[in-house]
Amino acid sequence: MMNDGASLPELTATDVRLVPFAQDLLDGAVRLSEQAGWPHRSGDWALTLSASRGVTALSGDMVVGTALCSTFGDVAALNMIIVDASMRGHGLGRQLMNAVIGMAGPREIRLTATQDGLPLYKKLGFVETGEIIQHQGLAQADGADRAVTTGSLGDVARLAEMDQAASGMAREPVLRRIAEMGTVLRAERGFAMLRPFGRGQVVGPVVAEDGETARALIAQAANRAQGTFLRIDVPASHDLSPFLESLGLARAGGGTSMVCQAKPEAPSPLKTFALASQALG
């Protein structure tokens, strides 16, 4: 995932240095993501940082670039890769990427790319694996009677096993944080999580054995969020867009899923129908 924010005045690349991402740089990182047009609040950054290491590019005391590496067992997700517009053309994006690729080590490395980032990622050995579609809007209730119940923190360990079977990512701690801040939804053959994000709420991850179960979980999330802003990021391969539009969630962009150092996938009936976020996969 890579984007370039709105320009900051009178910045040059001559004194840019990379430093480890630290808590005292968070305000500058949030400001940079806002300039890039991303909806991330400090709490959204904090969730990603809870599973991540990263680097920050500084020009003087100004944050002009960020990149994080979130590790989940044998998989690493690279994210929050942002370069200020005034720094373009100086190779800063490549420096940030090289730093977080080094943090990933021998793991399979995944990211969600914008169009701006695609050329660089391809040069660094990433290959396209699919399309991610973002839907958002004011959620409309779905009147169908579907068997979805409210889960609890006590369910997280089992749900993390299901999530890992679907995604290959061992991310129980971050799923627990999501459950603590939001709502867990359970169905016979899957689960979903609903939490605050950006301008409202986001649904994800959604993990299920089949499309019917995934739609039931998403519909229940829309019911819970009725009349408020809701976002969801889904793999295009599941063809959920018509259903999401029926819930008031219009298509609003997306990205390209990419991988480097890919490892064989273990077979599983479970699939990821919606991402936890474009950052976390």
**Per-residue pLDDT tens over the stretch 23-34:** 899 999 999 988
Q: Which token pair is 84?
A: 């200020």
The pLDDT value recorded for residue 261 is 97
The pLDDT value recorded for residue 14 is 57
The whole-angstrom distance between residue 227's C-alpha and the CA centroid of its chain comes to 24
**7 pLDDT higher than 60:** no
The pLDDT value recorded for residue 2 is 43
The pLDDT value recorded for residue 248 is 97
d(CA 182, CA 124): 36
**88 pLDDT higher than 70:** yes
d(CA 21, CA 4): 19
The whole-angstrom distance between residue 140's C-alpha and the CA centroid of its chain comes to 24
**36 pLDDT higher than 90:** no
What's the mean pLDDT in 53-75? 95
Reported as a single tens digit per residue, the pLDDT across 207-255 is 999 999 999 999 999 999 999 999 999 999 999 999 999 999 999 999 9
In order of their start, the domains of the chain are 2-125 (3.40.630.30), 133-253+264-274 (3.40.630.90)
Round the average pLDDT of the chain to a whole number and report it. 92
The pLDDT value recorded for residue 9 is 37
C-alpha distances out from residue 185 to 78, 103, 135, 201, 277, Å: 27, 34, 20, 14, 17
Q: Where are the alpha helices (DSSP H) in the chain?
A: 26-35, 42-49, 92-104, 118-123, 156-167, 172-181, 211-224, 241-246
Query: Do you find a cis peptide bond into 205, omega within 30 degrees of 0?
Result: yes
Which 3 state secondary structure label does DSSP give 237? helix
The pLDDT value recorded for residue 86 is 83
Which 3 state secondary structure label does DSSP give 165? helix
Reported as a single tens digit per residue, the pLDDT across 109-147 is 999 999 889 999 999 999 999 999 999 999 998 876 678
**13 pLDDT higher than 60:** no
Provide CB contacts within 8 A for 6, sequence distance 6+: 35, 36, 85
- The whole-model pTM stands at 0.91
Which 3 state secondary structure label does DSSP give 275? coil
Question: E strands, the chain, where?
Answer: 2-5, 16-20, 52-59, 62-72, 75-84, 108-113, 127-138, 149-150, 183-187, 190-197, 200-208, 229-235, 250-260, 271-274
> Is 29 within 8 Å of 66 (Cβ atoms)?
yes
**6 pLDDT higher than 50:** no
Place of tokens 């409202």: 200
The whole-angstrom distance between residue 126's C-alpha and the CA centroid of its chain comes to 17
To the nearest 10 degrees (0 to 180), the angle between helices 172-181 and 156-167 is 130
